[in-house]
Amino acid sequence: MSSDEELMDAVREGNEEAYITLFSRHRAGLYGYALRMTRRAEVADEVFQETFLRVHRSRATWSNHEGTFRSWLYRIATNTIRDRARSAARRPEVLGESWEEVVHPSHTDRIALEQALAALPENLRDAFVLTAVLGMDHNEVAVALEISPDNARARVSRARARLRELLEVS
pLDDT digits (tens, 9 = 90+) for 40-61: 888 899 999 999 999 999 888 8
105-170: CATH, from 1.10.260.40, 3.40.50.2300, 3.40.190.10, 1.10.10.10: 1.10.10.10
| Whether the predicted model's global pTM rises above the 0.75 cut | no
Would you say residue 95 has pLDDT above 50? no
Number of neighbours of residue 44 by Cβ within 10 angstroms: 22
Would you say residue 93 has pLDDT above 50? no
Q: Cα 37 vs. chain centroid, distance in angstroms?
A: 8
Q: Which of 99, 32, 169, 159 is nearest to 107 (CA)?
A: 99
Residue type, 90: R
pLDDT digits (tens, 9 = 90+) for 8-47: 999 999 899 999 999 999 999 999 989 888 878 888 999 9
Arithmetic mean of pLDDT, 97-118: 62
Class of domain 1-93: mainly alpha
Furthest-apart CA pair in the chain: how many Å? 54
Say how far apart CA 52 and CA 117 lie, in whole Å. 27
For the chain, residues classed under CATH 1.10.1740.10 are 1-93
* Burial group, residue 107, by CB count within 10 angstroms (0-12, 13-18, 19+): exposed
Yes or no: say if 41 and 89 are a contact pair by the CB < 8 Å rule. no
For the chain, residues classed under CATH 1.10.10.10 are 105-170
Say how far apart CA 119 and CA 60 lie, in whole Å. 38
Say how far apart CA 43 and CA 115 lie, in whole Å. 20
| Confidence band for 106, pLDDT divided at 50, 70 and 90 | low
Say how far apart CA 135 and CA 140 lie, in whole Å. 10
* DSSP H stretches of helix in the chain: 4-12, 16-38, 41-57, 69-88, 107-119, 122-128, 138-145, 149-169
